Amino acid sequence: MFKDQSIVLRRLAVSLRKTGHFLEARDQYTLSIHAADLLGKEGKILKANSLNSLGNMYLNLEEFELARTNYQDALAIYEDQEHSEGIASCLNNLALIYSRTGQYAEAYPYL
C-alpha cells in the first residue's frame, strides 16, 4: 500500500510542480518521502526518487542550497543501494547547480 502511495504522491507532486504550484508540490514530495520511509529497505529507491525530484524543483526555483541538500541525500541512498542510474542523475544534477552558479571548477568532478 505505501509503495503505491509513494509513487502516486510523487507523480502528483511532479504535476503540481510543472503547473507552478510549488508549495503544494513540496508537500506532496514530503508525503511521498514519508510513505517510502514506512516501507523500510523496500522504499529506499522510492525515497531517493522523491528527494531527487524535490531537488529538481528547488533547482528550477534557483534555491540551490535546498536542491543540493536533496540531491546529496538522494545520492547517498542511491550509492548505498548501488543504483547506477540514480547515482548518475544526482551527480549530473549536482554539476548543474555548480554550472548555474558559475562555479565551473566545482562542477567538473561531478561530470
C-alpha cell at position 80: 548505498
Grid cell 548555474 in the structure block, residue: 100
Grid cell 535546498 in the structure block, residue: 66
What's the rounded Cα separation, in Å, for the pair 79 and 57? 22
For the stretch 13-33, pLDDT in tens is 999 999 999 999 999 999 999
For the stretch 66-89, pLDDT in tens is 999 999 999 999 999 999 999 999
Using DSSP's 3-state secondary structure scheme, residue 101 falls into coil
